[in-house]
């Protein structure tokens, strides 16, 4: 190690903690969360600024998105091009943004989840509002600029956005340990809210919501929990319930059809396909048998999903079913989190507007200070030129008598006449009295002779008058917060007049959906499942007509009701429930459905060891035997549960269930191990436990031995099994005690 090198010893956990916090803050502030002032994430801000710098204005031709993405990546955003293009695409999609900021030309995706075309095919330019309300005044020092990633360019740390973009367009983003989800709002309402706050900074959330009713999603729909919005907008956290808009129309042949014309905002993309699949599933499972056909007739004009009904169908009940069983009614999780003063903060509606208004005063102050400074410079030059015109003969004499510009300028600014040739002493005395400023002297030296024409001189004096008016105006704005507020509000009024759009989302207190399930007629049926796991149900008479075939082809044959549930017990100690009503019912030769498709049972990872009707189990007790020789008895009523999957027995690590069966009084249980050890005990000696218990020791096992099989022997029953090619009568085994080794056979 050289003398200049130094080893720094530090605690590893502290270093990791610091590094992770630094990374998390980088993701939160520099990537995932929007700034409360301009409502933009860094990638969005950089794309818009780059388009502005490239001159891709709303009134100029479109440019290839690949050019915009490449330029943004090379100058400002050194991340993947797909993330930049995705941000550009979303800002152009009218169905995602309340106020799109980019004017896209080409395939920019669809509401149904189709992706945009590759960036080499699509084109874009800025929208007019983006140019006027997001990027205007960047040349007036209204926001701070910082170096880009390689310090070769400057980029704005925030854009001088003049409308509350964060509320208008909303935001979604996942950071480290936090996420933001802000719904879009109506442009005109939000502007009204901002003006109301500027007039009364003490306005509360309830008063604000008299102007901003609630979210206004670009997909429309109906918000049905109006009374909960006040709490949501006060805290910045909550759930907005949205329903799609449904109309009932008369179809052909006197049949009615349900037409969905607006969808919940959360259904955008793959959600529409999922909705169509869910409706098909309702029809297949006979929960919506009155739906004859479903078609998606949506186009660029809007959403139109048509459900054709059978004649005499109850349309209102089917609408309620759709709201209850599909995403036609959904929730939008609100978490109004944004970066304020460099740190993430969850805020309600009024604090959002407070931060925005504060930002407006800041950019307005900086703008008018810059304009005032420019007008004062202009005034100085104008006054110098007007004064010069009055003594133009003397100035010409100074210029002709000077050896260089430096000498002439010194004479004009400081009255230094040494070295300058004059026609007379009077001219020299006059020249020594001149006291132009540096800026005035430079303007005089650069002045062209045509400026001496009378009309030009008159125009200069007129211009000077305008400059004086501007100075007075800017000083008035900067000198009074009330005057500045009027200027900001006047600008907001102009934006509101030009860009306001009618509200799309209706806000109301919707009635809770009450869905009365039709009473199922109770029938005696037979559950049949073959060795491949295909299950179905048939009528008892159908079974009896085909009894021989049914018994030989089916692994499980269970008599039950169509209202019953079937319990599938696995070697993992789980019980999966299947509703008999969810299985195909009908002809004997119907194939049935894979049990994996109608339950949580996974045939690739689990093994089915016992299947029974829950109604029948309620009257019985179940015996459990595990590989480690653990036994227990459980009341069958414990398995009458609502959950689709529940723990049937608790297993120790590495253990699994090998046998489950019904308990019978006076019966014996014979256990067989891998090493051909046999133990026969009285079933009544096994204690009853809860389903969540491990059980008790049934058989002592040596080394790597394990219980392989179990057999239940009813009173007086004999059972012969093969052990190493020799028959063993289990009925003749001597009855032993629990927790013993048993005897070896074979």
Catalytically active residues are 121
Q: At what angle do helices 349-390 and 438-446 cross, to 10 degrees?
A: 60
Q: Is 353 exposed, middle or buried (0-12, 13-18, 19+ CB in 10 A)?
A: buried
Distance between CA atoms of residues 519 and 534, nearest Å:
27
End-to-end CA distance of the chain: 73
Place of tokens 């559950």: 527
Query: For residue 43, what are its two tokens?
Result: 């990638």
For residue 670, what is the enclosing H or E element?
Answer: strand 668-673
Query: For residue 659, what are its two tokens?
Result: 């046998």
Q: What share of the chain is helix, strand, coil (3-state, %, to 5)?
A: 40, 25, 35
Between CA 351 and CA 357, with CA 353 as vertex, the angle to 5 degrees is 115
Distance between CA atoms of residues 743 and 727, nearest Å:
16
Between CA 526 and CA 532, with CA 527 as vertex, the angle to 5 degrees is 145
CB 603 within 8 A of CB 550: no
Query: For residue 75, what are its two tokens?
Result: 């100058």
Between CA 83 and CA 67, with CA 55 as vertex, the angle to 5 degrees is 40
Query: For residue 49, what are its two tokens?
Result: 């600024």
Residues pairing with 371 in the sheet: none
Distance between CA atoms of residues 28 and 301, nearest Å:
38
Distance between CA atoms of residues 612 and 132, nearest Å:
71
3-class DSSP state for residue 658?
strand
Distance between CA atoms of residues 210 and 205, nearest Å:
9
Query: For residue 96, what are its two tokens?
Result: 């995602």
User: Which value, in Å, is the radius of gyration of the alpha carbons in the chain?
Assistant: 41
Residues 6+ apart with CB under 8 A from 632: 623, 624, 649, 686, 687, 688, 689, 693, 694, 695, 696
Distance between CA atoms of residues 68 and 124, nearest Å:
8
What phi and psi, each to the nearest 5 degrees, are found at residue 318? -70, -35
Fill in the DSSP letter of residue 98.
S
- Where helices occur in 599-706 by DSSP H, the ranges are 614-617
- For the beta sheet containing 621-626, the strands, ordered from the edge strand earlier in sequence to the opposite edge, are 657-662, 621-626, 630-635, 696-697
> Which of 675, 531, 677 has its CA nearest to residue 608?
531
- Tell me how long the chain is: 746
Q: Is 259 exposed, middle or buried (0-12, 13-18, 19+ CB in 10 A)?
A: middle
For CA atoms 222, 228, 232, 238, give the dihedral sign. negative
- Where helices occur in 132-225 by DSSP H, the ranges are 165-169, 187-199, 205-208
- Where helices occur in 142-287 by DSSP H, the ranges are 165-169, 187-199, 205-208, 226-235, 270-284
- Contacts of 201-206 with C-beta under 8 Å, sequence gap 24+, read 201/354, 203/350, 204/350, 205/230, 205/233, 205/234, 205/348, 205/349, 205/350, 206/230
Distance between CA atoms of residues 364 and 378, nearest Å:
21
Annotate 687-737 with DSSP letters as a single string. Answer: PB--TTS--EE-B---TT--EEEEEEE-TT---EEEETTEEEEGGGSPB--
């Amino acid at each position: 190690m050289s003398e200049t090198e130094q080893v720094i010893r530090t605690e590893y956990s502290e270093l990791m903690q610091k590094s992770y916090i630094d990374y998390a803050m980088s993701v939160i502030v520099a990537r995932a969360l929007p700034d409360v002032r301009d409502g933009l994430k860094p990638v969005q801000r950089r794309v818009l600024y780059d388009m502005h710098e490239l001159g891709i204005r709303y009134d100029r031709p479109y440019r290839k998105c690949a050019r915009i993405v490449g330029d943004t990546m090379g100058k400002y955003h050194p991340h993947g091009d797909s993330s930049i293009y995705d941000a550009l695409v979303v800002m152009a999609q009218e169905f995602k943004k309340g106020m799109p900021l980019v004017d896209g030309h080409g395939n920019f995706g669809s509401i149904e989840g189709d992706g945009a075309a590759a960036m080499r095919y699509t084109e874009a330019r800025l929208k007019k509002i983006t140019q006027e309300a997001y990027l205007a005044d960047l040349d007036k020092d209204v926001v701070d600029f910082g170096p880009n990633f390689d310090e070769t360019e400057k980029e704005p740390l925030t854009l001088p956005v003049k409308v509350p973009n964060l509320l208008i367009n909303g935001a979604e983003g996942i950071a480290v340990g936090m996420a933001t989800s802000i719904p879009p709002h109506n442009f005109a309402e939000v502007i009204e809210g901002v003006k109301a706050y500027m007039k009364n900074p003490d306005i509360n959330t309830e008063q604000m919501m008299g102007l901003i009713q609630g979210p206004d999603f670009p997909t429309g729909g109906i918000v049905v929990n109006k009374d909960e919005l006040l709490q949501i907008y006060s805290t910045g956290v909550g759930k907005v319930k949205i329903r799609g808009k449904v109309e009932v129309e008369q179809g052909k042949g006197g049949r009615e059809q349900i037409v969905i014309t607006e969808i919940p905002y959360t259904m955008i993309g793959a959600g529409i396909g999922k909705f169509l699949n869910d409706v098909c599933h309702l029809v297949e499972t006979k929960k919506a048998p009155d739906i004859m056909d479903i078609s998606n007739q949506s186009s660029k004009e809007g959403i139109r999903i048509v459900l054709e009904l059978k004649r005499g169908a109850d349309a209102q009940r089917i609408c309620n079913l759709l709201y209850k069983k599909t995403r036609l009614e959904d929730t939008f999780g609100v978490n109004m989190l944004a970066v304020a003063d460099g740190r993430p903060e969850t805020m309600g509606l009024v604090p959002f507007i407070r931060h925005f208004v504060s930002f407006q005063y800041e950019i307005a102050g900086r703008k008018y200070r810059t304009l005032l400074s420019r007008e004062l410079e202009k005034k100085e030059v104008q006054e110098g030129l007007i004064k010069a015109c009055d003594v133009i003969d003397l100035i010409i004499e100074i210029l002709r008598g000077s050896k260089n510009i430096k000498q002439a300028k010194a004479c004009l600014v400081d009255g230094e006449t040494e070295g300058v040739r004059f026609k007379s002493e009077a001219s020299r005395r006059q020249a020594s009295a001149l006291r132009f400023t540096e800026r005035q002297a430079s303007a005089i030296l650069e002045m062209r002779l045509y400026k001496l024409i009378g009309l030009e001189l008159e125009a200069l004096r007129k211009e000077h008058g305008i400059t004086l008016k501007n100075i007075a105006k800017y000083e008035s704005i900067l000198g009074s917060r009330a005057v500045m507020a009027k200027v900001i509000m006047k600008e907001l009024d102009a934006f509101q007049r030009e860009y306001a759009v009618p509200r799309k989302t209706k806000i109301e207190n919707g009635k809770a959906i009450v869905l009365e399930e039709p009473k199922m007629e109770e029938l005696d049926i037979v559950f049949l499942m073959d060795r491949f796991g295909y299950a179905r149900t048939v009528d008892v008479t159908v079974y009896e007509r085909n009894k021989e075939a049914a018994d030989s082809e089916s692994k499980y044959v269970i008599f039950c009701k169509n209202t019953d549930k079937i319990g599938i017990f696995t070697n993992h100690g789980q019980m999966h429930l299947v509703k008999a009503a969810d299985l195909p019912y009908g002809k004997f030769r119907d194939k049935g459905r894979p049990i994996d498709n109608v339950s949580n049972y996974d045939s690739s990872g689990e093994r089915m060891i016992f299947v029974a009707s829950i109604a029948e189990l309620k009257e019985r007790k179940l015996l459990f035997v595990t590989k480690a020789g653990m036994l227990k008895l459980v009341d069958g009523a414990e398995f009458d549960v609502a959950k689709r999957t529940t723990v049937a027995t608790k297993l120790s690590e590495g253990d699994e269930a090998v046998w489950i069966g019904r308990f019978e009084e006076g019966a014996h249980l014979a256990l067989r191990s891998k090493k051909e050890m046999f133990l026969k005990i009285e079933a009544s000696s096994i204690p009853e436990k809860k389903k969540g218990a491990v059980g008790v020791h049934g058989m002592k096992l040596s080394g790597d031995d394990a219980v392989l099989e179990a057999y239940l022997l009813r009173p007086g029953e004999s059972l012969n099994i093969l052990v190493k090619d020799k028959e063993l009568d289990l009925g003749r085994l001597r009855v032993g005690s629990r927790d013993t080794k048993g005897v070896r056979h074979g």
